[in-house]
Amino acid sequence: MKISHSFDSGAIEVLSLDDPGNIRLRLRADNAAEFHQWFHFRVQGAAGRSLRMVFENAAEAAYPDGWPGYRCVASYDRRSWFRVADTRYEDGQLIVEHAPEHDSVYYAYFEPYSYERHLDLVGWAEMSPFAQADSLGWTVEGREIDRIVVGRATPGRRPVWVIARQHPGETMAEWFIEGLLERLLDAADPVARRIRERAVLHIVPNMNPDGALHGNLRTNAAGRNLNREWRAPDEQASPEVFHVRRAMEATGCDLFLDIHGDEALPYVFFSTAEEVPGFTAETAARQARFVAAFAAASPDFQTDEGYKPGRFGEELLTLASKWVAHRFGCVSLTLEMPFKDNANMPDGHAGWSSVRSKRMGAAMLNAILAHLEGA
């Protein structure tokens, strides 16, 4: 039996593989920072064996509250993923028990979104008559920061920005973008058509391709948490934010969405902008209208559970959606989707998944149109 992780987003440390009933593992830290929670690895030669995999340092993970109620994801073909029912957190360890049906099986924290798929998404979008792709700059390791622009910048069309995957382990964010783009570029969809007539959308599907390839949870190749860099990005250490922010200054911003995943909370929710200095009653009304439109568009979304006020403290304006709300005075929101499942609408087989994330992205168009028509 073998374990490997030398592939796109692969990450694990193997302590012992001698006994299939006691495979000892450690979560690997980000390449240049001490965040660890993401894992992605392949087990070979395991068909018919009862595996017991113990992640011994789970209590030291970035978000240990993410383990209770969590179920590992697995796949034989890297296309269809399912949840491993016998996943539990006890005595500070994450334990996954599974008897694979085939010799080769992949395990991951969430369904991966590969860099190859990212490039395919950008190439596919550019083939649409409604979109064009460009590069906003380079990452720390020299990868392009891809932007997809939908619509033409003509008078009266409002700039909308959507970014995803500042935290590379939050792969549901790029699945969301894929679903949003598939609907937005559909010539037969009337909601998409109306949006294209009224707005120019600037979409960055993956803010952190370096971190994604490294198998990082939260940081880029230089160890920077990009969602704490927005107040004063460093062109060398956090060029991803530096270049996107510069492009946003050039276009302006009427609506901003930052797409994320939350390790602990089993819900879909927004982190809103009420605590941002200068948040006006007019912006509050526009934000409330947007949130209500999204709730009507997707029963997976809810407003009862979310982050408590004061969570970000003095870091507030270092976060993307808070900085944008302060800088442009627009509706600016962070969407969070779960690593676990949606407790309000659970799925025993897949939990929260790539498919549900894509549906969420498609549903977001209804709220975007409501925003454009309501102002």
Distance, in Å, from the CA atom of 373 to the CA atom of 375, rounded to the nearest integer, reads: 6
Gyration radius from the chain CA atoms: 20
Q: Kindly state the tokens that stand for 166.
A: 């500042």
- Three-point CA angle 162, 164, 165, nearest 5°: 170
Q: Which residues pair with 42 in a beta bridge?
A: 4, 106
What is the CB neighbour count within 10 angstroms for residue 309? 8
Is residue 56 annotated as a catalytic residue, yes or no?
A: no
Residue 253 contacts residue 161 (beta carbons within 8 Å): yes
**Catalytic residue selected from 141, 282, 336, 373:** 336
Active-site positions? 336
